[in-house]
Structure 1
Amino acid sequence: MTELPPTREQLRLEGFELIDETLSFLVACLGDALKSLGEESLIPYLPWSGTVPENHPPDGTQQLYSIGFQLLNMVEERVAAAIRREREKVIGADSIRGLWPRALRDMSAMGLGPKEILAVLADVDVQPVLTAHPTEAKRASVRERHRALYEELVRNEYPKYTDRERRRIRERIVTALETLWRTGEIHLVRPDIFREMRDAIHYLRDLFPSALNRLDMHFTEAWRESGFPLEMLRAAGNIPRLSFGTWIGGDRDGHPLVTSEVTAKGLEMMRRASFQLLKRELEQVAGQLTLSRQLNDIPEALERRIDEITFSLGDEEITSDLHDRHHEEPWRHLGGLIAARLQRQIEGKPGYKSPKELDADLDLLATSIREAGCGLIDEQLLRPLRQKLEIFGFHLAMLDVRQNSEFHDKAISLLLGAAGVADGANYAGWSEEQRLAFLNEELKSPRPFLHDTARIGGEADAVLDCYRVLVKHRKEWGDAGLGALIVSMTRQLSDLLGVFLLAREAGLMEHTEEGSWCALEVVPLFETMDDLDRSPGILGAFLDHPLTQRTNEKRIGSDGKQSQQVMLGYSDSNKDCGILAAQWALHRAQENLTKTGDERGVKLCFFHGRGGTISRGAGPTHWFMASLPHGSMSGEFRMTEQGETIAQKYANLANATYNLELLLAGAAITTAMHRYTTPKADPAEPFLPFLAEKSQEAYQSLLKTEGFIEFYRQVTPIDALENSRIGSRPARRSGKKGHSIADLRAIPWVFSWTQARFYLPGWFGVGSALEALKSSEPEKFAALKGVLKQSTFLGYVFTNVETNLASANLDLMNEYAALVEDPALRKKFMDIIVAEFHRTRDLLEGLYEGSMDDRRPRMAKTLAIREAPLKVLHRQQIAILRDWRELVATEREADAESMFPKMLLSINAIASGLRTTG
């Protein structure tokens, strides 16, 4: 009897078993490491294998559980990759949602042939943007130890090792765990921006290039297996496009330490790293270009170029060595000379002036290799190298510059005051009509107000000095590497036009007979609910402005259409009005902004400021894209990747490749759907205005209830987070500690509720909204239940709300509530919160006809396995918080400070267990 292949359900159960088996193995290794280190007292408390301490866990339990969670996270990532491989093997690659085989199959099912698919892919341009994180807790050294452990875990999967070889692997794992135990896990000193930059460069230079090799291979294989000709794909060039951006060293919104010097140094660090990347990749390729003079005709152009670079290097020791070693292998010889030239640039000496100049040498290698009849060498070695040059250039990643509109207002006030403009010093207080009248007239002139050496002080110097760094970069290296000028808290048209004024002052404006245009794109960031609602009017007026039109005309794409980037904030909107109202506001805004662009023949590139938590926009990438409003995906797509999310998605090669493929393939299929299918009305849309309004009312009512701030500051560890050294950026936009939620950044707002296991920003208000619909119009509630499975938008939002509810813990919420000193205040707010929790969970279970545990067993498994050790950590944190606050209240500052490492370790351990900060 033929054995049937495993089903999806069997594969899922196999994955659960593999998690338990691999975790047991690693925890046993951790026990051996503890024994070796003389920490035997902790062995009985090993997570998932020992005793769960009740009241007084021994010192070291926090660190033990934190490392245990790090191992669990690693195991889950590895098992997910293994089960994906198994699923591809037995069910087929196109069974995995979000990857290339499925995306190409779905595009073919839409009636698209290879030509139409290539036309879609030509417009796909995806850019993950790495940002620093005020709550990223892991030190780089810890991540290095994680990589060593992960590599041994991968080796251990090989089935044909002998027992002796397996013992060696186990010993190396124990050694790595010993080192990890003695490696300081958290930042006791606040990390500086350059350390954050070096962390980002590690991913950009050392990890993404290898992931791109695999990603390109996956796409090529999926293309071939779809029956499409490879020649067509290669003739189309490097499509779809993937590149990278960063905010580290450019994001100065509420970050006073990001100075012009920091921006200049950041650009220099990335440029040097790009040369290191290209030299490393080139040396690897050159080592394989061992074609001999004796067996191949050597083109004259190749010989000539070898002589030219030998002469230009002017270093006889290096050139003689390369000649002696590789003269018989001229392709390898030229590759070595190119690498030597790049080494000079790493050292800050002259070399290639542009990536185009370097690519000309690579093209000579590729063309002559093909002419020698070795097309596969070009396909497998030189084409991927040239692709990396196209992606990383001499800049590694695009650096955006972000600043707050209020800061710009102060800068312009100082500038106008110094220039003697009537009432100019009060510009920040001018009406919008007065501002626009002034700006529209003033921007007709190319002349700046002051000499470029003038110093005004304050915000004006901060903005202009930064812009002058960008001007200098453009003169030396061109526009490559320079992103956009992003205006956070964009509230009116003058917030954007004012940036043109500042750009003119610094020399970032170009002047022609037709008029001036800005060298860099000015991008609105719409964040609050009110700003999102008004965003189409602001964008329309901005796109209609002659200066914007001239600027965008300089950036017309291959399709002949102007494009404009628009950034959407997922954080402040949620903090303002709760998850359901915020998501609906974002959805509506995208629909209306897309119409605004379409009316003007301008395609929009939405830049999604998604955070690491669901309440700040996170969620599975392919589901997120599927829920976007029809027509809003033009092919261009940017998305922030923050802090610990970067490590979770990209810390190892398999995971990095998978997550980048989700982004690229997801953008491709979504673009095709938006372009080639008829828009279908979301059946849940008629209910959404009512649900969003009622949800917002409930959420804001909670925040406005008297005593809420006092309750919030006692029930969560927000005070500890404000004092932490976790990231380089302050927790508040103004940098001041205080009791204003409006000034508090959304990340610590979410992080504090997460640490106390409330997860409140990710669900509060949803239950009240559903109950209001059910009680006032039960027939509509029944209709909503009937259409919920057909609603991509509400399905995505409710799935995320449900995840937050499942991650919250009522028992622990009540234990944190005991930190609230006033019993009446505690009861008042806990009654409201607990009632809303039950309401939301019960109504969602009613809509879906079952609990999340039954419908989403994998999520239930990952939450359940963490709960017992997490409870221990939370109870420790509550005790630490109580003692630390007592010391702060009685002004015993030295004692409070000495407790802080323990507090930080507690925060970090819980974050590891929950896999989330902010």
Structure 2
Amino acid sequence: MLTTTSNVIDFEKAERDFTFLLHCFQEVLCDLGEKKLADHLPWQGASLPLEHYPDTERALQAFSIVFQLLNMAEENSSAQNRRALEADKGLSHLTGLWGRTLLRFREREIPVEEICSLLPEVVINTVLTAHPTEAKRKTVLEQHRQLYLLLVKRENQMWTPLEQLEIKSEIKSVLERLWRTGELLYEKPGIDDERRNVIHYLYNIFPEALPMLDKRLQQAWRETGFDPAHLSDPRSLPRLNFGSWVGGDRDGHPLVTAEVTEETLAEMRRSALKLVRHHLYELASKLSLSDRLQTPGKPLVLRIETLKKKLAEKGSDALRKNRHEPWRQFLNLLIAALPPDAEIPAACNHCGYNASVELLEDLSLLRHSLIAVGAQHLADMEVAPVYRIVQTFGFHLGTLDIRQNSHIHELALSQLMTAAGLDGSGFLEWDETARRVFLDLELQSPRPFTHPDMSAGAEAEAVLACYRVLLKHNKSYGTDGLGSLIVSMTRNVSDLLIVYLFAREVGLMTPTGDGDACILPVVPLFETIEDLRKSPAILSEFLHHPVTRRSLEYRREAAGKPRKIQQAMIGYSDSNKDGGIFTSTWTLYRAQETLIAAGKESGTDILFFHGRGGSISRGAGPTHRFIKAQPYGSFKTGMCFTEQGETIAQKYANRISAVYNLELFMAGVAGALGKQQQSEHRAHPLEPMMDLLSEKSYQAYRELIETKGFLTFFRQATPIDIIESSRIGSRPSRRSGKNSLEDLRAIPWVFSWNQARFSLSGWYGVGSALEYLHESNPEAFEEIRQRSHAWPPLRYIISNADTSIASADLQIMRQYALMVSDRSVRERFLGMIEAEYHRTKTYIDLLYTAQLETQRINVNRFISLRREGLDILHRQQITLLRQWRELKNSGKQEEAESMLPELLLTVNAISGGLRTTG
């Protein structure tokens, strides 16, 4: 529920801002003839049940808007309070940011040379996905962005009273647009809509945030007392990379075709070149240095002449402009050397840059030429930020990962085998040993299964068509824009080796001295508890396979890295759905430890890709605590993580928030690396007890979901059926359409429990585990109690469970449970859930005594501000759900369909109030 900014909210300021926005909205409503609604909104002690409003749909929309205003006031309060605290107490005052991290380095007496060598090793990879957790329309999100900017604008003390009134009028204008704009998506968004949204962040938000991030690091560096000259070279700074799954993630998504992937790669490249061209033009407008006042160095003059000849007529045209301004002329040449925005026709004789690394070399030359004539300030302030833009976004904007489910790969290979006259249907029945024998023999041969004019089957054609797009892109532009080939639900080594056969089939393999190597990374995604526990053995065997060894070495040489790097993706959502919050979090921790060991044994560094979602149940939580809670050595090669659904808008829609959230990751990883360089890895004495607690929590959680009738309780006591009817993402809510718990995606699973205020996936099982330890081994429980606040892994689990259970509401749970028609089923599961709820609260209180009170103050304040409005919304949702289900069961589909908009508005409004969906 709470974002990472919550611990610095100034609630008094947030309340003032919210009151101002609420009054603006009430004035808008009154102006539009909605005085009764304006007078009886919650948050002013005069609310009414929704059925008392003249138009309940409009009332629901009003509730939704007011919740967004409250969220906005809190977000702005956090941002302004952080600024005030840093101005008053210094950059080192706030936890998790550069100021505190660098201060810790200095306190540990880490030599500045070591810090300087560490910083470029900090690599943060942010991957945006389009999982169906964003309940708001893009149009509505844009209005929210404008409103937030106006709220920030209002902070400036320079405005006169008349100007303040004008800002208020602008705010009311946006609020009227919001009121007149429908909240709901009446059609599921297409992939092109999701792609536009992702590109908006990659093109507009992150390039603006990047220079601010660099400046904050440099400011903290100076404040800590280090020499600013150490960070003047942009190559000395941490790296920030971006990626996307939109247009590449086809796991259970039939609309992601090869054509969609090709369009996505092309659009990302067009946007990147547009971005780079814009920044080069801006830079050229600033570097008007005259050669009459300073003489350009020989390296710059020689490079100008070389580029002029290489670019022929375009080069001559570039030099006709800006005579006596060689630095500007040089930039004219760089712009002329950029590839065209559109795809290059075969007949086009493009003689400029083939890759962004060539442009970086020229920008580095430009920077050094300015330093040589004494223009260090211009080199730092003007050229370095453009260098960073090109370094980060290149000619590709972000990498596009390709993800597919291992079962689809099995079907595809089976079809290819059948087309080649082999026993394809038998392959599906073979055990792992038989599959390995076949795959190992097959991978020794360079021949494909099929010829270009052969058709193998639907799954095979879909997989190969996608891989052909990747091959085509690689031939034209190289691998810069291509991410990994991710295999979701990796359960055996064969699931990964199969991908090499697809790569061989289309030509994504390349010969080396010892045999073929795959030019793109093949990445396992371990999701369930069982798969995470098996993951070290799977990865170890995969890393020792000769094709993998060759592929890792090939990519190491191509990237110029000192060591081989293998990415491993770990899934938070499905492991939580499978085993509950405690077992999921601790199993992920243990899996990382053993995966690091497997990599070390094969001479390979592991880059972890954290598949985190937007709620605590799916891996979210305070970023600085998340980073501290990871095992020793897990950030050696950087960090990769997903940002999903509404989390993207919450964390990155506004530049100030984007900078803050990215800085938390960058400074946090730097801090972890610095600390680990100063200490040896030692097993923590609490780890055996954590194993025990994890197992007991798992048993309690599995007992709940495996008890007969649980699926009935879940489907009737939560609005899962409404969520499945919503239109908030292009992806289906089920992988294959089966009506089973296993087939249900983790996102609607978490979403539905949150809507009904059980928040089950964020706390269930924790109480049983702690109770068992307390009763069976009081001394061990006391040891955990003494150490829990100081040991990050345990603190992260318990504090997240505490936050989750605080957002649960027993009274509201009981109201939703009354919708379960079978009384025995209702009482059985509600009894189990209530007992575990009380057990968890009791033992977390015992564990933390008063130490968690500061966190609880914020959490409880957050909830109390929303309680009145949420209570009204929950009652309305339950009433409507009953009516809707009754109409459906009576066969009155048309009448049921007419109720959907109002029901979906309740989902939307409750999501806004809780600040989370899935």
TM-score band w.r.t. shorter chain: over 0.9
- Kindly provide the amino acid, as one letter, of the partner of residue 35 in structure 2: E
Q: Does the aligned pair in 2 maintain the 1:276–1:343 contact within 8 Å?
A: no
Tell me whether 1:23 sits opposite 2:18 in the alignment.
Answer: yes
- Kindly provide the amino acid, as one letter, of the partner of residue 345 in structure 1: D
Q: Distance in 2 between matches of 1:718 and 1:170?
A: 40
TM superposition score normalised by structure 1: 0.94
Q: Distance in 2 between matches of 1:708 and 1:690?
A: 26
Tell me whether 1:508 sits opposite 2:524 in the alignment.
Answer: no
RMSD: 2.3
How much has 1:694 moved relative to structure 2?
A: 1.5
Q: Distance in 1 between matches of 2:278 and 2:808?
A: 47
Q: Does the aligned pair in 2 maintain the 1:289–1:331 contact within 8 Å?
A: yes
Q: Distance in 2 between matches of 1:866 and 1:570?
A: 28
How much has 1:360 moved relative to structure 2?
A: 4.7
TM superposition score normalised by structure 2: 0.94
User: Residues 307 and 485 (structure 1 numbering): CA distance in 2 closer, same or farther, change over 3 Å?
Assistant: closer
Q: Determine which of 707, 716, 719 is the counterpart of 1:717.
A: 719
* Aligned match of 1:3: none
Tell me whether 1:214 sits opposite 2:212 in the alignment.
Answer: yes
Q: How does 1:374-393 map to 2 (within 5 A)?
A: 374-393=375-394
Measured against aligned partners, the alpha-carbon deviations of 1:531-566 in whole angstroms (never above 9, x if no partner) come to 111111111111111111111112336662211111
* Aligned match of 1:806: 806
* Aligned match of 2:49: 54
Q: Distance in 2 between matches of 1:310 and 1:120?
A: 39
Q: Does the aligned pair in 2 maintain the 1:503–1:509 contact within 8 Å?
A: yes
Q: Distance in 1 between matches of 2:854 and 2:381?
A: 47
Measured against aligned partners, the alpha-carbon deviations of 1:813-846 in whole angstroms (never above 9, x if no partner) come to 1111121122232222111111111111111112
User: Residues 558 and 271 (structure 1 numbering): CA distance in 2 closer, same or farther, change over 3 Å?
Assistant: closer
Q: Distance in 2 between matches of 1:12 and 1:204?
A: 28
* Aligned match of 2:543: 543
How much has 1:853 moved relative to structure 2?
A: 5.3
Q: How does 1:179-190 map to 2 (within 5 A)?
A: 179-190=177-188
Percent same amino acid among aligned pairs?
Answer: 47
Measured against aligned partners, the alpha-carbon deviations of 1:381-440 in whole angstroms (never above 9, x if no partner) come to 11110111011011111111111111111111001111112x233212111111111111
Q: Does the aligned pair in 1 maintain the 2:308–2:315 contact within 8 Å?
A: no
Q: Distance in 1 between matches of 2:234 and 2:398?
A: 24
Q: Distance in 2 between matches of 1:914 and 1:745?
A: 21
How much has 1:341 moved relative to structure 2?
A: 6.4
Q: Distance in 2 between matches of 1:676 and 1:806?
A: 38
Q: How does 1:574-723 map to 2 (within 5 A)?
A: 574-723=576-725
How much has 1:323 moved relative to structure 2?
A: 5.7
Q: Which moved more, 1:84-93 or 1:449-458?
A: 449-458
* Aligned match of 1:824: 824
Q: Does the aligned pair in 2 maintain the 1:47–1:68 contact within 8 Å?
A: no
Q: Does the aligned pair in 2 maintain the 1:279–1:343 contact within 8 Å?
A: no
- SS of match in other structure, 2:85: helix
Q: How does 1:145-164 map to 2 (within 5 A)?
A: 145-164=143-162
Q: Determine which of 152, 176, 182 is the counterpart of 1:178.
A: 176
Q: Determine which of 245, 249, 252 is the counterpart of 2:250.
A: 252
* Aligned match of 1:411: 412
* Aligned match of 1:440: 440
- Kindly provide the amino acid, as one letter, of the partner of residue 34 in structure 2: E
Tell me whether 1:128 sits opposite 2:129 in the alignment.
Answer: no
Q: Distance in 2 between matches of 1:236 and 1:796?
A: 35
Q: How does 1:518-533 map to 2 (within 5 A)?
A: 518-533=518-533
How much has 1:359 moved relative to structure 2?
A: 3.4
* Aligned match of 2:199: 201
How much has 1:90 moved relative to structure 2?
A: 2.1
User: Residues 688 and 546 (structure 1 numbering): CA distance in 2 closer, same or farther, change over 3 Å?
Assistant: same
User: Residues 751 and 542 (structure 1 numbering): CA distance in 2 closer, same or farther, change over 3 Å?
Assistant: same
Q: Does the aligned pair in 1 maintain the 2:370–2:379 contact within 8 Å?
A: yes
User: Residues 238 and 183 (structure 1 numbering): CA distance in 2 closer, same or farther, change over 3 Å?
Assistant: farther
* Aligned match of 2:481: 481
* Aligned match of 1:467: 467
Measured against aligned partners, the alpha-carbon deviations of 1:83-118 in whole angstroms (never above 9, x if no partner) come to 111211222211211111111222233332121112
User: Residues 555 and 229 (structure 1 numbering): CA distance in 2 closer, same or farther, change over 3 Å?
Assistant: farther
Q: Does the aligned pair in 2 maintain the 1:568–1:586 contact within 8 Å?
A: yes
* Aligned match of 1:495: 495
Tell me whether 1:891 sits opposite 2:891 in the alignment.
Answer: yes
How much has 1:789 moved relative to structure 2?
A: 2.0
Q: Distance in 1 between matches of 2:307 and 2:203?
A: 28
- Kindly provide the amino acid, as one letter, of the partner of residue 502 in structure 1: F
How much has 1:303 moved relative to structure 2?
A: 6.3
Q: Determine which of 107, 110, 118 is the counterpart of 2:108.
A: 110
Q: Distance in 2 between matches of 1:347 and 1:553?
A: 31
Q: Determine which of 61, 64, 71 is the counterpart of 2:62.
A: 64
Measured against aligned partners, the alpha-carbon deviations of 1:572-620 in whole angstroms (never above 9, x if no partner) come to 1111111111112111111111111112221110111111111111111
Q: Distance in 1 between matches of 2:7 and 2:619?
A: 27
- SS of match in other structure, 2:569: strand
Q: Distance in 1 between matches of 2:339 and 2:545?
A: 46
- Kindly provide the amino acid, as one letter, of the partner of residue 903 in structure 1: L
Q: How does 1:28-107 map to 2 (within 5 A)?
A: 28-49=23-44, 51-54=46-49, 56-58=51-53, 59=56, 60-107=58-105
User: Residues 851 and 98 (structure 1 numbering): CA distance in 2 closer, same or farther, change over 3 Å?
Assistant: closer
Measured against aligned partners, the alpha-carbon deviations of 1:859-901 in whole angstroms (never above 9, x if no partner) come to 2211211111111111111122112112211222222222212
User: Residues 53 and 346 (structure 1 numbering): CA distance in 2 closer, same or farther, change over 3 Å?
Assistant: farther
Tell me whether 1:786 sits opposite 2:782 in the alignment.
Answer: no
Q: Does the aligned pair in 2 maintain the 1:487–1:495 contact within 8 Å?
A: yes
Measured against aligned partners, the alpha-carbon deviations of 1:747-801 in whole angstroms (never above 9, x if no partner) come to 1100000000100011111111122222223333233222222321111000000
How much has 1:348 moved relative to structure 2?
A: 6.4
- SS of match in other structure, 1:129: strand
Q: Does the aligned pair in 2 maintain the 1:452–1:505 contact within 8 Å?
A: no
Q: Distance in 2 between matches of 1:14 and 1:503?
A: 51
Q: Does the aligned pair in 2 maintain the 1:193–1:248 contact within 8 Å?
A: yes
- SS of match in other structure, 1:819: coil
Q: Distance in 2 between matches of 1:210 and 1:78?
A: 19
Q: Distance in 2 between matches of 1:302 and 1:617?
A: 50
- Kindly provide the amino acid, as one letter, of the partner of residue 516 in structure 2: S
How much has 1:374 moved relative to structure 2?
A: 1.8
- Kindly provide the amino acid, as one letter, of the partner of residue 54 in structure 1: P
Q: Does the aligned pair in 2 maintain the 1:682–1:790 contact within 8 Å?
A: no
Q: How does 1:755-904 map to 2 (within 5 A)?
A: 755-850=755-850, 855-904=855-904
Q: Does the aligned pair in 2 maintain the 1:452–1:506 contact within 8 Å?
A: no
* Aligned match of 1:916: 916
- SS of match in other structure, 1:243: strand
Q: Distance in 1 between matches of 2:291 and 2:182?
A: 55
Q: Determine which of 341, 344, 366 is the counterpart of 1:345.
A: 341
User: Residues 855 and 354 (structure 1 numbering): CA distance in 2 closer, same or farther, change over 3 Å?
Assistant: closer
- Kindly provide the amino acid, as one letter, of the partner of residue 539 in structure 1: L
Q: Distance in 2 between matches of 1:219 and 1:601?
A: 33
How much has 1:123 moved relative to structure 2?
A: 2.1
How much has 1:12 moved relative to structure 2?
A: 8.2
Measured against aligned partners, the alpha-carbon deviations of 1:650-671 in whole angstroms (never above 9, x if no partner) come to 0101100011111111111112
Tell me whether 1:239 sits opposite 2:237 in the alignment.
Answer: yes
Measured against aligned partners, the alpha-carbon deviations of 1:680-705 in whole angstroms (never above 9, x if no partner) come to 44343232222112211111111111
- SS of match in other structure, 2:235: coil
Q: Does the aligned pair in 1 maintain the 2:315–2:336 contact within 8 Å?
A: no
- SS of match in other structure, 2:858: helix
How much has 1:622 moved relative to structure 2?
A: 1.1
User: Residues 167 and 133 (structure 1 numbering): CA distance in 2 closer, same or farther, change over 3 Å?
Assistant: same
How much has 1:76 moved relative to structure 2?
A: 1.2
Structure 1 stretches of 5 or more lacking a match? Answer: 1-10
- Kindly provide the amino acid, as one letter, of the partner of residue 90 in structure 2: G
- SS of match in other structure, 2:127: strand
- Kindly provide the amino acid, as one letter, of the partner of residue 341 in structure 2: Q
Structure 2 stretches of 5 or more lacking a match? Answer: 1-5
